[in-house]
Structure 1
Amino acid sequence: MAKAVQQKADNPIDWEETSITGPTLTFHAGCVVGNNFYIHGGIETKDGKAPSNKLYQLNSSGGSWKELSFPGSPSLSHHQAVALSDRYIILVGGWNGKARSSKIFAFDTEKQLWMEPTASGFPEDGGLSSHTATALSSGEILILGREGSLRMQRRHGSGYILSGNVESGKFTYKEYTQETASRSGHTASIIGNTLYIVGGRDNNLIEMHSGFKSPNAPLPVTNSITTAVDKLNPVSKMPGGRKNHIAIESPGALLIHGGETFDGRSREPVGEMYIFSRKPTPTFYKVGVSDVKRAGHVCGVVGDKIILHGGLGGKNQVMLATESSNSAAMMYLFPNCYKFDLLSI
């Protein structure tokens, strides 16, 4: 049975805790294939060094997370998962416990089989982590964000177009030449023919680039994100930078939730929620501050549900403070699964 998170009076929408519990993970990857939400990898403790190789499935009808144990699943965190052909889960890059990787892994949801296609075109001494991977209508994948030499571990705003397919067993990285700002822990979403890159740095919160098209239209359950702005006032000041948040696409707007801010207000995840609407002019609206504070979480839209899972939690969730001279707040991870309550709009 669902357990509602206490909703603040000025929040027109908020998260609702469900009875669905699952694996305790953060900085994992997630995507939706058919009527199923899949999550893979991640770390199980706040400063964990050994990424998980586990794959879980949650059906849209609810129930519980089901672990899918098949040979060949890679151990990764800070990676990305993209659905292709409504059948394959493509894992791109990530931290393998020793180094950043640019490898590609694929899971066939029909045959229940892991594969490792070849991937060429990426700098030999480089890898990817805390990047984004966005499926395009062309069948290609746009890769943006943190990429660096394994020696220098530098951060810059490079991008790549990943082309290929599972059937051929081959993928190729080609450098994306349009300049973007340096980002890490950001999101990249497509609405209409525009790409919106949010966060991942302490300034220049959002970038917009035209000429992109998503292979999938937003599901009807997200329509309320677009219409919510009718009940909200525009912010007078642009929100500050943030990273490791989530962004949910609707037909005309983005919902941005959580993350870690760069402004020094808190060293813990925040519960802030904003809606960015592109019409009539690009505008931010503050929804409110949720009690659900998360960073490094994942989100998926399945049927009539918007589901949030995992991540680092904030002070008002689970907190342990030591009494030693170097007293520190220790954040724990949460197995809880949340869905978005849009019924109040």
Structure 2
Amino acid sequence: MSAAPSLWEWKPIARDALLARAHHSCDVVRGKLLLFGGLRSGEPKEPPLGDTVAFDPVLLTAETVVPDSRDPRSHHDTAVLADRWLCVVGGWDGAHRISSVGCFDAEQGRWERWAEGPSNDPPVGLSSHTCTKVSEHELRVVGRQGGLRTQRRFASLYTLRINPTTKTYWYKEEDLRLASRAGHSAMLLHDPGGYRLVVFGGRDSCDLEVAGHWSKAKIHVEPVHAPKLTAQLSRLVGSGRGSPQAPKGLRHQSCSMVGPFAVVFGGETLAKGRDAVCNDLYIYDTRCSSPSWLHFPGSDRRQKRVGHRTCLWDDKLYLVGGFGPDGKTPCPEVCVLDIPE
């Protein structure tokens, strides 16, 4: 008997040692996937990377753009402003959790350390947090702050203002309290009157929490044209072969919005066990008034990932880096999500 055809898979398209890293960032800037920082191994004392690498999805080649930013980071998050500035927020510098902001100017090809504004009220430090772009001048930061020995019981929620003209930034803590999370994901979803930011994961539950509301006039969401992939996801969701199950007790997974679908992949379970790294695809379908999760398990354990990133570009969803099945060996492959007809 022949094996049943796979509902989905990650199809490798390129391989380069420059991409072998985890807990890095990966963003589309000027038509290329721009990687920054991360870790080369799962060893606790491994210092983070400070290099910037660009992957060209047309030529399928990787190159080092800046060998060393002099400000290494891992477990950070990023936002792209005006398709020019890659803003790096917080992270682990090898000794401390930090909250400072650094920016890579893709037009000038150089890193800049931006200054704190006069009303800055920064977190003690951030790592494994999320940073969501609300507009070209405002980001929403969600995460559990603290130093090496201190942690808060609740997640910190900050509005981060950015001014590229003066190269300054300033944090403002919001009053809303969320459950403590680390290694979670954030989804910016449509509301009847605008948008809401929803966070999940990073703790032993499958709860969704709302971390902010904005009207359509207050938020800047860049439309992403991905009709082919959206149609493929719609067909997969409608196949009846997914189980109604939300991700529970998962952290350091990836999450990308593709039209009305949030596509979540991989991560590691918080349950104790030797085989904690996952190879599961979850799709959050927001097309109806009561959004729902569907779970599609992976069949190839070699594609297990944690601390990886996914990026949507030119109607394709790319998977870049991350630790593999053992949770400590970085993967040098770039893959695209393939959903056969």
TM-score tier by shorter-chain length is 0.7 to 0.9
What corresponds to 1:86 in structure 2? 83
Using structure 1 for the length normalisation, give the TM-score.
0.86
**What are structure 2's unaligned runs of at least 5 residues?**
none
Distance, in Å, in 2 between the alignment partners of 1:140 and 1:301 is 22
Distance, in Å, in 1 between the alignment partners of 2:95 and 2:155 is 23
- Pair 1:289-2:298 in alignment: yes
1:187 to 167, 185, 188: 185
1:201 to 195, 203, 206: 203
Q: Aligned to 1:225, what secondary structure does the other structure show?
A: helix
Q: Classify 1:304/1:204 alpha carbon distance in 2 versus 1 (closer, same or farther; 3 Å).
A: closer
> How do 1:55-204 residues align onto structure 2 when only pairs under 5 Å count?
55-69=52-66, 72-120=69-117, 121-123=120-122, 126-137=124-135, 139-154=137-152, 156-192=154-190, 193-204=195-206
- Deviation for aligned residue 1:235: 3.0
Q: Aligned to 1:333, what secondary structure does the other structure show?
A: coil
What corresponds to 2:333 in structure 1? 336
Distance, in Å, in 1 between the alignment partners of 2:72 and 2:90 is 11
Distance, in Å, in 1 between the alignment partners of 2:103 and 2:85 is 6
The range that moved more, 133-142 or 265-274, is: 265-274
1:240 to 248, 254, 262: 248
In structure 2, give the amino acid aligned to 1:45.
S
The range that moved more, 279-288 or 78-87, is: 279-288
Question: In 2, are the aligned partners of 1:10 and 1:288 still within 8 Å (CA)?
Answer: no
Question: In 1, are the aligned partners of 2:51 and 2:69 still within 8 Å (CA)?
Answer: no
Distance, in Å, in 1 between the alignment partners of 2:251 and 2:242 is 22
- Deviation for aligned residue 1:303: 1.4
Question: In 1, are the aligned partners of 2:321 and 2:333 still within 8 Å (CA)?
Answer: yes
- Deviation for aligned residue 1:253: 1.5
Instruction: Kindly provide the CA deviation profile for residues 20-75 of structure 1, in whole angstroms up to 9, marking residues without a partner as x.
Output: 32422111111111211101011111125311101001123132111012664411
In structure 2, give the amino acid aligned to 1:108.
D
Question: CA RMSD for the aligned pairs?
Answer: 2.3
The range that moved more, 182-191 or 279-288, is: 279-288
1:277 to 272, 281, 285: 285
- Deviation for aligned residue 1:10: 6.3
In structure 1, give the amino acid aligned to 2:257.
E
In structure 2, give the amino acid aligned to 1:286.
H
1:256 to 264, 289, 298: 264
What corresponds to 1:229 in structure 2? 237
In structure 2, give the amino acid aligned to 1:288.
P
The range that moved more, 209-218 or 72-81, is: 209-218
In structure 2, give the amino acid aligned to 1:20.
R
What corresponds to 1:305 in structure 2? 316
Distance, in Å, in 1 between the alignment partners of 2:314 and 2:246 is 33
**What are structure 1's unaligned runs of at least 5 residues?**
1-7, 316-329
Question: In 2, are the aligned partners of 1:102 and 1:127 still within 8 Å (CA)?
Answer: yes
In structure 1, give the amino acid aligned to 2:296.
V
What corresponds to 2:35 in structure 1? 39
Distance, in Å, in 2 between the alignment partners of 1:260 and 1:306 is 21
In structure 2, give the amino acid aligned to 1:284.
W
Question: In 2, are the aligned partners of 1:205 and 1:241 still within 8 Å (CA)?
Answer: no
The range that moved more, 47-56 or 16-25, is: 16-25
Distance, in Å, in 2 between the alignment partners of 1:226 and 1:119 is 44
In structure 2, give the amino acid aligned to 1:313.
G
Q: Classify 1:229/1:127 alpha carbon distance in 2 versus 1 (closer, same or farther; 3 Å).
A: same
Aligned length: 322
Question: In 2, are the aligned partners of 1:293 and 1:313 still within 8 Å (CA)?
Answer: yes
